[in-house]
Amino acid sequence: MNMNIAVIKGDGIGPEVVSEAMKVLDAVAAKYGHTIAYEQLLMGGCSIDAYGDPLTDETVAKAKKADAVLLGSIGGNTSTSPWYKLPPKKRPEAGLLKIRKELGLFANLRPALLYDQLKDACPLKKEIADKGFDMVIMRELTGGLYFGERKTEEVDGVMTAVDTLTYTETEIRRIAIKAFDIAMKRRKKVTSVDKANVLDSSRLWRKVVEEVAADYPEVSYEHMLVDNAAMQLVKDPAQFDVVLTENMFGDILSDEASMITGSIGMLSSASLNETKFGLYEPSGGSAPDIAGQNIANPIATILSAAMMLRYTFDLDAEADAIEAAVRKVLVEGYRTGDIMSEGCTKVLCDEMGNLIAERV
């Protein structure tokens, strides 16, 4: 197969971890007889430095022509970087919001899996970690509070900020269908998270989810208020299979879920549109404090590349090979600093990439 992949290495540790994911993809291509053409694009702070814009229209056009996008991390230190002295629409993260909208990436999948080998790194009580967990958070990505109208103005002498949370029935239905489809391939359980006791948008969300659920009689489902869901994630994460939620709740809950796995550096993600096209990125941030030191954990980005092979290219065997290689390296006791534990061998970012590529 010929694969055309747009690569956006981004800011901070992005270039380091994406380079390792590309190394592993090249190993897969060599083993299974595929060819990969990469096109390097800029987005985020590096694009601001080069073009004065976090995401140019030319970059969007090139991304649309690719089969998929492999993305690193976007942004820098919000307190010291000159990027954050710019208007909000010109800051690095504005590029991320724009590309999601332009590419129609409404469905964000964030797996949260606790590897047996990393249970000691899990911050939860031992009896909770020993049960393990394996969930996917399905986050709606192009609607809600982050994309609603916003303004800050003076009203009766008082500065007032307004952010608008809007969802349509269509937006809710399409993400709910994605969640139930994935649940059919997993343990057939969906937990829909909302704030229906307060928000009209959540009441509509709950109504539409129930309508979609009627078409999936094999899938059990439940509704859970977001504050309870946040507590349940640290009390009993093993109860969750597919967690379906709106944009802001999903942003918060997926980061919480990532940390209970032991390190955000372990968590992959995929953002999909209504075709096979997807954007694949690690769940963590740009970590500017460790950028350029070759100590970042590339596993999340490598696992994101595996998701790309699975969801965009339908190459399940190749995706399985990457995931198995990651497990093998962990079983053998190799760790980057963020997941290091006693008795293991500490390795650098590029060394971890080499180890995984060799085991593909």
Buried b (16+ CB within 10 A) or exposed e, 153-165: eeeeeeeeeeeeb
In this structure, what token pair is assigned to residue 277?
């096209």
pLDDT in tens, 22-64: 999 999 999 999 999 999 999 999 999 999 999 999 999 999 9
Is residue 108 within 8 A of residue 47, CB to CB? The reply is no
Q: Greater confidence, 300 or 120? A: 300
Q: Which amino acid is at 27?
A: A
Catalytic residue among 167, 251, 311, 338: 251
pLDDT at 207 over 80: yes
Query: What pTM, to 2 d.p., does this model score?
Result: 0.84
Looking at the DSSP bridge assignments, the partners of residue 334 are: 345
pLDDT at 149 (0 to 100): 93
Catalytic residue among 9, 98, 119, 195: 195
Catalytic residue check, 241: no
Distance separating alpha carbons of residues 85 and 247, to the nearest angstrom: 26
Domain boundaries, the chain: 1-106+275-360, 123-260
For residue 298, give the 3-state DSSP assignment: coil
- Confidence band of 266 (pLDDT split at 50, 70, 90): confident
The dihedrals phi and psi of 89, each to the nearest 5 degrees, come to -75, -10
Catalytic residue among 90, 255, 328, 350: 255
Distance separating alpha carbons of residues 149 and 147, to the nearest angstrom: 7
Torsional sign, CA 317, 320, 322, 328: negative
Distance separating alpha carbons of residues 1 and 33, to the nearest angstrom: 7
pLDDT at 176 (0 to 100): 97
123-260: in CATH 3.40.30.10: no
In this structure, what token pair is assigned to residue 26?
């090249």
User: What value does the mean pLDDT of the chain take?
Assistant: 94
Catalytic residue check, 51: no
Residues whose CB falls within 8 Å of the CB of residue 323, separated by 6 or more in sequence, listed in order: 303, 306
Distance separating alpha carbons of residues 30 and 75, to the nearest angstrom: 33
What average pLDDT score do residues 144-159 get? Answer: 94
In this structure, what token pair is assigned to residue 268?
């992959």
Catalytic residue among 227, 236, 314, 316: 227
pLDDT in tens, 303-355: 999 999 998 999 999 999 999 999 999 999 999 998 888 899 999 999 999 99
pLDDT at 78 over 90: no
- Confidence band of 263 (pLDDT split at 50, 70, 90): confident
CATH number (3.30.750.24, 2.30.40.10, 3.40.50.300, 3.40.718.10) of 1-106+275-360 reads: 3.40.718.10
10 Å Cβ neighbour count for 276?
12
Catalytic residue check, 350: no
Short-list 122, 125, 131, CA closest to 257: 122
Q: Greater confidence, 118 or 216? A: 216
Percent of the chain with pLDDT over 70: 100
What average pLDDT score do residues 81-86 get? Answer: 92
pLDDT at 137 over 90: yes
pLDDT at 264 over 80: no
pLDDT at 23 (0 to 100): 98
End-to-end CA gap in the chain: 18
Q: The tokens 């980057």 sit on which residue?
A: 336
Catalytic residue among 11, 23, 98, 146: 146
Four-CA torsion 328, 329, 332, 338, nearest 10 degrees: -140
Catalytic residue check, 289: no
Catalytic residue check, 146: yes
